[in-house]
């Protein structure tokens, strides 16, 4: 059985060799120090949005359709990658953890939190489109109608705010901006990506992407050890 997730498929989009290495050879890409601020903001945002189950937060009024998915118990289960929305077939299992969900009548749309250092100038579809496609597919396969749209909620810092209590020296108030971006989703595209992933995992070792910084680095080290490249002082 092949186990897939939107995060695994993002590696395939970046480099088929890294994807193959991680899933066949069990050699994952090296990980550096990962900032914890995005994860902390994600938890704060989810807690805040949970106050508006079956409604809409004031920051999103007029910017998104419908209301937040009302069933907190079910949504909380879908937020965990171990119990998230799942598709199981004879060939593969796809599981993903959503941030939130909009519902307008019987139509569902993924809603996802993203953090950036400044106001985004693009939708981010080139980075997150495959993830939203997978969510669309998983929603459909679990019996929910989808809108063909996903809503990305970008949160970014704008400025510091002077606290009203000047004695609160341990606090720093930061104003965050919010920008809503809409991208089209396609369950068909998700299925095509999954089919490509299965073909790669069942096939021979693929060639690396010419743009993959991990493969380029490892190839450079290999050439150094073989004396193909000079070692500069």
Q: Is residue 66 part of a domain?
A: yes
Q: Which two tokens stand for residue 104?
A: 């307008």
Beta bridge partners of 96: 85
> What whole-number distance in Å separates Cα of residue 124 and Cα of residue 127?
5
Q: Is residue 94 part of a domain?
A: yes
The number of beta carbons lying within 10 Å of the beta carbon of residue 119 is 11
Mean pLDDT, the chain, whole residue set: 90
Which one, of 17, 22, 7, lies nearest residue 200 by Cα?
17
What's the pTM? 0.89
| pLDDT at position 149 | 98
Number of domains into which the chain is organized: 1
Q: Is residue 15 part of a domain?
A: no
Q: For residues 167-172, give the mean pLDDT.
A: 68
Name 175's Cβ contacts closer than 8 Å, sequence gap at least 6: 157, 158, 159, 160, 161
Q: Is residue 16 part of a domain?
A: no
Higher pLDDT residue, 172 or 127?
127
Q: Is residue 136 part of a domain?
A: yes
Domain that holds residue 151: 35-203
Higher pLDDT residue, 46 or 160?
46
**Where are the extended beta strands (E) located within the chain?**
2-4, 67-68, 85-88, 92-96, 100-104, 107-115, 145-146, 149-161, 173-184
Q: Is residue 63 part of a domain?
A: yes
Name 22's Cβ contacts closer than 8 Å, sequence gap at least 6: 8, 11, 28, 29
- Per-residue pLDDT of 116-128, as tens digits, reads 999 999 999 999 9
64 half-sphere exposure, CB direction, 13 A CA radius: 33
Q: Is residue 178 part of a domain?
A: yes
Residue 178 in 3-state DSSP?
strand
Q: Is residue 216 part of a domain?
A: no
| pLDDT at position 229 | 46
Which one, of 38, 34, 64, 59, lies nearest residue 49 by Cα?
59
């Amino acid at each position: 059985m092949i186990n897939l997730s939107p995060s695994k498929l993002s590696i395939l989009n970046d480099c088929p060799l890294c994807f193959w290495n991680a899933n066949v050879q069990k050699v994952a890409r090296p990980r550096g120090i990962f900032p914890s601020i995005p994860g902390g903001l994600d938890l704060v945002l989810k807690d805040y949005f949970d106050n508006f189950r079956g409604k809409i937060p004031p920051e999103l009024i007029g910017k998104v359709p419908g209301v937040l998915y009302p069933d907190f118990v079910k949504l909380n289960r879908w937020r965990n990658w171990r119990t998230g929305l799942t598709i199981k077939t004879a060939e593969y299992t796809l599981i993903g953890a959503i941030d939130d969900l909009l519902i307008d009548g019987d139509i569902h749309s993924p809603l996802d939190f993203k953090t950036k250092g400044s106001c985004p100038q693009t939708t981010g579809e080139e980075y997150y489109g495959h993830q939203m496609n997978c969510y669309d597919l998983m929603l459909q396969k679990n019996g929910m109608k989808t809108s063909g749209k996903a809503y990305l909620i970008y949160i970014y810092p704008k400025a510091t705010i002077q606290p009203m209590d000047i004695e609160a020296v341990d606090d720093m108030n930061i104003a965050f901006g919010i920008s809503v971006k809409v991208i089209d989703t396609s369950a068909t595209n998700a299925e095509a990506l999954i089919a490509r992933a299965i073909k790669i995992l069942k096939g021979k070792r693929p060639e690396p992407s010419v743009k993959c910084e991990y493969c380029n680095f490892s190839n450079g080290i290999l050439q150094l050890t073989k004396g193909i490249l000079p070692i500069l002082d």
